[in-house]
Chain A
Amino acid sequence: MRRGLMAEFQGPDALAAAIRALRDEGYRRLDAYLPLPHRAVEEALALPKSPLAWFVLGGGLLGATVAYVGMWWTNAVDYPLNIGSRPAHAMPAFIPITFELTVLFAGLAAFFGWAWLCRLPRLWHPVFEIEGFERASIDGYFLAVDARDPRYAADVSMRRLTALGARRVLRVGEEAPA
């Protein structure tokens, strides 16, 4: 959010109620900032399902393939040696590493997928410039309305937020930050 309104609410429930109300009124570009994960808030925002599970699946499959094919190629194709008279393509013996690399790649996908979906790391963001925003990680419950929202109209929206119980409402991005 580069420009818009930021309203602070009393708690997660008030925040969720406000979001629901605004969405009912047709607001779409809403975002919330709150110090804990809260299902009601997320549901109210109607956030889409996270695609992370697909990333993880892809990572896992990639890991399994890399591991198994790698072991098969190195030990049975590229330089097959007679090791204890066992078959060079030692399927059961390849399972543990295949499993471990599945988990490893899937885990990396989960972590880096999360970072990518959240666009992290990003040390500076306009919202950090908002006075009192640091309380978002302590006890601040913020609702942000993006100026690009179809229903956005600075003054109207501001009043509407106050009416919904916001303790205070701030304008964001009016004075362009340096």
Chain B
Amino acid sequence: MRPTRRDFLRTLSAAAAAWGLEGCLQVDKGQIVPYVRRPPESVPGRADTYATSVEVDGYGVGVLGECHTGHPTKLEGNPLHPASLGALGAAEQARILDLYDRDRLRALLHDGRPAAWDAFLARFGARGDAPWVRRAGEGLCLLLAPTASPLRARLIEELLALYPRASVRFSGGDVARWEAARQAFGEPLEPRYDLTRATRIVSLDADFLADEPNWIRWSRDWAVRRRVHGPDGEMSRTYVVESFVTPTGVAADHRLAVPGNEVVHVGAALLGALAQAGLPVPIAARASLERSAHRAWAEAVARDLVACRGEVAVFVGRRQPVAAHLVGIALNAALGGPVTWAPSPLLGAGTAAFDAAALVDALRGGAVDTLVTLETNPAFELSPDLGWATAAAKARERVHLAYLPDETAESATWLLPALHDFERWGDTRAYDGTAAPVQPLVRPLVAGHTPDGVLAMLAGDRAPDLRDRLARRWGERLEAALPRGVFDDTAAAPAPRRDVDWDAVARALPSPAADAGLVLDLVRDPRTDDGRRAHNVWLRELPEPVTKLVYDNAAVLAPATAARLGVANEDVVEIRRGDAAIRLPVWVLAGQAEGAVAVWTGYGRRAGGALAPQHGVDVSPLRTGREPWIVPGVEVRATGERHALATTQPHRDPHGRPILLRRTLADWRADPQFAVAQNTPPPSLLPNRSDVPRTQQWGMVVDQTLCTGCSACVVACVAENNIPMVGKAQVRLGREMHWLRIDVYDGARGPAFQPMMCVHCEKAPCEYVCPVNATSHSHDGINEMTYNRCVGTRYCSNNCPYKVRRFNWLEWHRGDEDVLRMHANPDVTVRARGVMEKCTYCVQRLRGAEIEARTGGRPIEAVPVTTACAQTCPTGALVFGLVSDPGAEVSKRRAELHAYAVLNEVGTFPRTRHLARIENPNPDLRS
């Protein structure tokens, strides 16, 4: 921190006051700087909310940005947007931090030297001196991140109209999925799932509750059929076939762990079992069933699926090859579930525009004079075997628009600073085709542009006014859409129902698998968006849901595989394929498929902000364009070296303690009262003062059946409550600061998640041990933590059976510059070193609502308010509200039979109740 004079005086006077020595030191109380011309809508001290949308893998997600005096501090999902319905994921929540990233590009650089945008226009504008300007665009090649933006589509059209010989390409994309659809239907369609109508869900390596496109919406819909209110209720059943343990795998009823390359065989076996059951699918699939090692599993699942025909949804993950997607298409078609097919909203989906190899060939052939890369980072993202670096070097000019100085920026001749998502105008299109406007939440902090702006400039617009272009694109609808955040009725209609080309399916059926040896399963890390957000400390310090590792990636091995290789946690292994090798520390994980090594991608960045290159290893040396995700036949050997990993939860064995209650639905029906004993307070000599029914009692319910571990709540909490990040070394010491954590416990039926934060005990053990009254109980049931009274004895943490209290061991905010402090929520105290902190039920929101209610003469029940975590939870596993209001959702959930108090026997009377995890396994299957 560069201390300002004010900081210094403040510290000085605080120190002096502490010793009562203020003397004649005149306190500088600071200044108040009002507006000159006050915007009519602004109320100082009150947050304004604006609706906008962001792109995730090119698909739009609607967000609401909370802004305090002009700077956004917190995001929420837009309830009106179909891809969000109010929820957001961790990576989306964390985008707010990017806005204040000190490493962002601030000025246009030409050959490494600052230059003006006019210079860029002089070269590449409509009358620019670039050679292709007069050759109808020949030699101009653009590479864009996948996008579905209608405005961008129009700008590309304009550009191509001006330069018909220019080529526009896209990076990434679910190429295999589109290709499979093209083979099966003749068109590159994408599946649309209505999970509110699905009672059986099969996932073939698809992390559809945490990572696949549209996962937020799918989580919401999945929860509708998953939630069970009582022993006589019904719930859906989920089967997952996968290698690494994903959140979806944990949430599922059955998880079959196989290496990534065997998933297609299991899928084919399932298809064979359907054939065996008489469904009209290629009979050839029966061969796959007969030779499958998982025949009994496939048959049992098939019986279940056939019985629920019409209500089955099958997902195939984006890591899987075309054949697996074809098998998935066949399964969906045969079972006739709530799955329809529609054209992808992404521009150029299913066309050669996504062919990275063709792009590299064109570059290598010298056909490209000017390569324009817009918010995409091929130098890191493309497999090294494609030879991007040498090919791109053949382009005379390399124009790169980026937010951070990434790997591609290193070789750019023109480096253009990009505007942040919250500084720009534009639009997006969601997975279902719904369009949404993008509007700025803050005036741009740098003189940058968006891809749309660069496209417009290339197309001859010297000073693109994107708001105007947006208005022209959408006409009158824009004004109506801006406050709501969506363009109504823009969802794409599903394609007419088409028959599957069964021959294509039959051709795709895998031949008998040769022993592939050890398989390297590369797994997208949804936290950092496959490395694109590796600079974002909120995401780097966010524990991976299952291993709870932070900052690093690791070679995740099944216990048996690790034993065979003679390695344990933190041993460094070398993974070799041919000449290429990488070295990674080992993490042993029960549930990981045997015979496979799972490694997250997106680590080991070479550039992209100060944090991005720190920690973790780049796996791309082992990747090829043909096999980008599943690499068979790798060798793994121990090196004898060690590398320290940081995990926030070293112990996952519940020791048989009744902490995370879980039952199958059948068991619950047999014993409906199983949780009641855990929900009955133990006898006590002391009265419970909070028990007295009073108006306004807050409470929370955590539904463990619905928790998928996606960790959106954790980051939402970070953003809302100014939670500091501490770095890998401090996490290793056990000093992470997250108020809300998601514990994972192993069990006989696999791991399960337990969100855990302060449960606001009514007989709180933390309170009576505090010597200075720094933690006390409010009249409305909140265990309050008063930071400014805390002296830091940490006794409260000792006495907290849930260990949810966090301590500021050091001054975590040292080094924050003023611009970084702008992301802080001004309604929450930024805690200094030496004080304890913990979940407050977002008391700042509750007190705000209370003031709103009392000054407005409304009952508190009428003021909508919830905590940041509950607000963003995609499945609604966290429910917050007034437990004193019998009509409130939280009260109803609290009264359900599987509600219980974690550590009930300790006598703490937690206000937050957990709902036992109810599973719905197939009775024909043992695991």
Which among A82, A85, A93 has the highest number of chain B CB atoms within 10 Å? Answer: A85
Q: How far is the CA of A81 from the CA of B784 in the complex (A)?
A: 11
Pick the contact of B767 from A84, A87, A93 — CB < 8 Å? A84
Pick the contact of B689 from A79, A82, A93 — CB < 8 Å? A82
Chain B residues contacting A39 (CB-CB under 8 Å) are: none
Which among A79, A82, A83, A84 has the highest number of chain B CB atoms within 10 Å? Answer: A84
- Contacting pair A86 B779 (CB below 8 A): no
Which A67-123 residues have C-beta < 8 A from chain B? Answer: 79, 81-87, 93
Pick the contact of B777 from A79, A82, A87, A93 — CB < 8 Å? A82
- Contacting pair A85 B762 (CB below 8 A): yes
Chain B residues contacting A93 (CB-CB under 8 Å) are: 768
B535 close to chain A: CB less than 8 A: no
Pick the contact of B765 from A79, A81, A84 — CB < 8 Å? A84
- Contacting pair A82 B773 (CB below 8 A): no
- Per-residue interface assignment for chain A, residues 18 to 53, with 1 indicating a CB less than 8 Å from any chain B CB and 0 otherwise: 000000000000000000000000000000000000
- Contacting pair B776 A85 (CB below 8 A): no
Q: What is the CB-to-nearest-CB distance from B621 to chain A, in angstroms, rounded to a whole number? A: 57
Q: Which residue of B lies closest to A83 (CB)?
A: B767
B748 close to chain A: CB less than 8 A: no
Q: Which residue of A lies closest to B777 (CB)?
A: A82
- Contacting pair B686 A82 (CB below 8 A): no
- Contacting pair B689 A85 (CB below 8 A): yes
- Contacting pair A82 B763 (CB below 8 A): no
Q: What is the CB-to-nearest-CB distance from B476 to chain A, in angstroms, rounded to a whole number? A: 57
Chain B residues contacting A87 (CB-CB under 8 Å) are: 686-687, 689
B413 close to chain A: CB less than 8 A: no
Q: What is the CB-to-nearest-CB distance from A123 to chain B, in angstroms, rounded to a whole number? A: 35
Chain B residues contacting A82 (CB-CB under 8 Å) are: 689-690, 776-779
Q: How far is the CA of A82 from the CA of B764 in the complex (A)?
A: 10
Q: What is the CB-to-nearest-CB distance from A100 to chain B, in angstroms, rounded to a whole number? A: 14
Chain A residues contacting B778 (CB-CB under 8 Å) are: 82
Which B664-691 residues have C-beta < 8 A from chain A? Answer: 686-690
Q: What is the CB-to-nearest-CB distance from B497 to chain A, in angstroms, rounded to a whole number? A: 62
Q: How far is the CA of A84 from the CA of B800 in the complex (A)?
A: 12
Pick the contact of B688 from A79, A83, A85 — CB < 8 Å? A85
Which B293-350 residues have C-beta < 8 A from chain A? Answer: none
- Per-residue interface assignment for chain B, residues 511 to 523, with 1 indicating a CB less than 8 Å from any chain A CB and 0 otherwise: 0000000000000
Chain A residues contacting B768 (CB-CB under 8 Å) are: 83-84, 86, 93
- Per-residue interface assignment for chain A, residues 53 to 68, with 1 indicating a CB less than 8 Å from any chain B CB and 0 otherwise: 0000000000000000
Q: How far is the CA of A108 from the CA of B777 in the complex (A)?
A: 38
Q: What is the CB-to-nearest-CB distance from B183 to chain A, in angstroms, rounded to a whole number? A: 66
Which among A79, A81, A82, A87 has the highest number of chain B CB atoms within 10 Å? Answer: A82
Q: How far is the CA of A123 from the CA of B777 in the complex (A)?
A: 57
Chain B residues contacting A79 (CB-CB under 8 Å) are: 773
Q: Which residue of A lies closest to B775 (CB)?
A: A83
- Contacting pair B687 A85 (CB below 8 A): yes
Pick the contact of A85 from B690, B766, B770 — CB < 8 Å? B690
Dominant secondary structure at the A interface = loop
Chain A residues contacting B779 (CB-CB under 8 Å) are: 82
- Contacting pair A83 B776 (CB below 8 A): yes
Q: What is the CB-to-nearest-CB distance from A85 to chain B, in angstroms, rounded to a whole number? A: 5
Q: How far is the CA of A93 from the CA of B770 in the complex (A)?
A: 13
Q: What is the CB-to-nearest-CB distance from A172 to chain B, in angstroms, rounded to a whole number? A: 52
Chain A residues contacting B690 (CB-CB under 8 Å) are: 82, 85
- Per-residue interface assignment for chain B, residues 779 to 791, with 1 indicating a CB less than 8 Å from any chain A CB and 0 otherwise: 1000000000000
Q: What is the CB-to-nearest-CB distance from B468 to chain A, in angstroms, rounded to a whole number? A: 58
- Contacting pair A84 B763 (CB below 8 A): yes
Q: How far is the CA of A84 from the CA of B768 in the complex (A)?
A: 6
Q: What is the CB-to-nearest-CB distance from A94 to chain B, in angstroms, rounded to a whole number? A: 13
Q: What is the CB-to-nearest-CB distance from B780 to chain A, in angstroms, rounded to a whole number? A: 11
- Contacting pair B686 A81 (CB below 8 A): no
Q: What is the CB-to-nearest-CB distance from B627 to chain A, in angstroms, rounded to a whole number? A: 59
Q: Which residue of B lies closest to A93 (CB)?
A: B768
Chain B residues contacting A83 (CB-CB under 8 Å) are: 767-768, 770, 773, 776-777
Q: What is the CB-to-nearest-CB distance from A173 to chain B, in angstroms, rounded to a whole number? A: 52
Q: Which residue of B lies closest to A79 (CB)?
A: B773
Q: How far is the CA of A162 from the CA of B884 in the complex (A)?
A: 97
- Contacting pair A85 B686 (CB below 8 A): yes
Q: What is the CB-to-nearest-CB distance from A91 to chain B, in angstroms, rounded to a whole number? A: 12
Q: How far is the CA of A83 from the CA of B796 in the complex (A)?
A: 12
Q: Which residue of A lies closest to B689 (CB)?
A: A85
Chain B residues contacting A86 (CB-CB under 8 Å) are: 686, 689, 763, 768
Q: How far is the CA of A51 from the CA of B377 in the complex (A)?
A: 92
Which among B767, B770, B779, B909 has the highest number of chain A CB atoms within 10 Å? Answer: B767
Q: How far is the CA of A87 from the CA of B690 in the complex (A)?
A: 11
Q: How far is the CA of A82 from the CA of B909 in the complex (A)?
A: 15
Q: What is the CB-to-nearest-CB distance from A158 to chain B, in angstroms, rounded to a whole number? A: 63
Q: What is the CB-to-nearest-CB distance from B771 to chain A, in angstroms, rounded to a whole number? A: 11
Q: How far is the CA of A83 from the CA of B786 in the complex (A)?
A: 13
Q: How far is the CA of A87 from the CA of B767 in the complex (A)?
A: 13
- Contacting pair B764 A84 (CB below 8 A): yes
Q: How far is the CA of A85 from the CA of B686 in the complex (A)?
A: 8
- Contacting pair B763 A85 (CB below 8 A): yes
Q: How far is the CA of A85 from the CA of B684 in the complex (A)?
A: 12
Q: How far is the CA of A134 from the CA of B369 in the complex (A)?
A: 110
- Contacting pair B777 A81 (CB below 8 A): yes
Q: How far is the CA of A79 from the CA of B764 in the complex (A)?
A: 19
Q: How far is the CA of A62 from the CA of B855 in the complex (A)?
A: 50
Q: Which residue of B lies closest to A88 (CB)?
A: B689
- Contacting pair A84 B777 (CB below 8 A): yes
Q: What is the CB-to-nearest-CB distance from B911 to chain A, in angstroms, rounded to a whole number? A: 11
Q: What is the CB-to-nearest-CB distance from A116 to chain B, in angstroms, rounded to a whole number? A: 33
Chain A residues contacting B767 (CB-CB under 8 Å) are: 83-84
Q: What is the CB-to-nearest-CB distance from A95 to chain B, in angstroms, rounded to a whole number? A: 15
Q: How far is the CA of A160 from the CA of B642 in the complex (A)?
A: 96
Q: What is the CB-to-nearest-CB distance from B688 to chain A, in angstroms, rounded to a whole number? A: 5
Q: What is the CB-to-nearest-CB distance from A71 to chain B, in angstroms, rounded to a whole number? A: 12
Q: How far is the CA of A82 from the CA of B776 in the complex (A)?
A: 6
Q: What is the CB-to-nearest-CB distance from B799 to chain A, in angstroms, rounded to a whole number? A: 10
Q: How far is the CA of A142 from the CA of B547 in the complex (A)?
A: 86
Chain B residues contacting A81 (CB-CB under 8 Å) are: 773, 776-777
Chain A residues contacting B763 (CB-CB under 8 Å) are: 84-86
Chain B residues contacting A84 (CB-CB under 8 Å) are: 761, 763-768, 777
Chain B residues contacting A85 (CB-CB under 8 Å) are: 686-690, 762-764, 777, 909
Chain A residues contacting B773 (CB-CB under 8 Å) are: 79, 81, 83
Q: Which residue of B lies closest to A90 (CB)?
A: B768
Q: Which residue of A lies closest to B778 (CB)?
A: A82
Q: Which residue of B lies closest to A81 (CB)?
A: B776
Q: How far is the CA of A175 from the CA of B325 in the complex (A)?
A: 122
Q: What is the CB-to-nearest-CB distance from B233 to chain A, in angstroms, rounded to a whole number? A: 34
Q: Which residue of A lies closest to B764 (CB)?
A: A84
Q: How far is the CA of A93 from the CA of B767 in the complex (A)?
A: 14
Chain A residues contacting B764 (CB-CB under 8 Å) are: 84-85
Q: What is the CB-to-nearest-CB distance from A170 to chain B, in angstroms, rounded to a whole number? A: 56
Q: What is the CB-to-nearest-CB distance from A161 to chain B, in angstroms, rounded to a whole number? A: 62
Q: How far is the CA of A84 from the CA of B777 in the complex (A)?
A: 7
Q: How far is the CA of A85 from the CA of B907 in the complex (A)?
A: 12
Q: What is the CB-to-nearest-CB distance from B779 to chain A, in angstroms, rounded to a whole number? A: 7
Q: Which residue of A lies closest to B799 (CB)?
A: A84
Chain A residues contacting B761 (CB-CB under 8 Å) are: 84
Q: What is the CB-to-nearest-CB distance from B772 to chain A, in angstroms, rounded to a whole number? A: 11
Chain A residues contacting B770 (CB-CB under 8 Å) are: 83
Q: How far is the CA of A13 from the CA of B777 in the complex (A)?
A: 71
- The 7 A-B pairs with the shortest beta carbon distances in the complex, nearest first, are A82-B777, A84-B767, A84-B768, A81-B776, A85-B689, A85-B763, A83-B767
Residues of A participating in the B interface, judged by any CB pair closer than 8 Å: 79, 81-87, 93
Name 29 interchain pairs, CB-CB below 8 A, sorted by A.
Answer: A79-B773, A82-B689, A82-B690, A82-B776, A82-B777, A83-B767, A83-B768, A83-B770, A83-B773, A83-B776, A84-B761, A84-B763, A84-B764, A84-B765, A84-B766, A84-B777, A85-B689, A85-B690, A85-B762, A85-B777, A85-B909, A86-B686, A86-B689, A86-B763, A86-B768, A87-B686, A87-B687, A87-B689, A93-B768
Q: A82-B779, A84-B767, A85-B763 are in contact. List 17 more A-B contacts (CB 8 A).
A: A79-B773, A81-B773, A81-B776, A82-B690, A82-B776, A82-B777, A82-B778, A83-B767, A84-B761, A84-B763, A84-B764, A84-B765, A85-B909, A86-B689, A86-B768, A87-B689, A93-B768
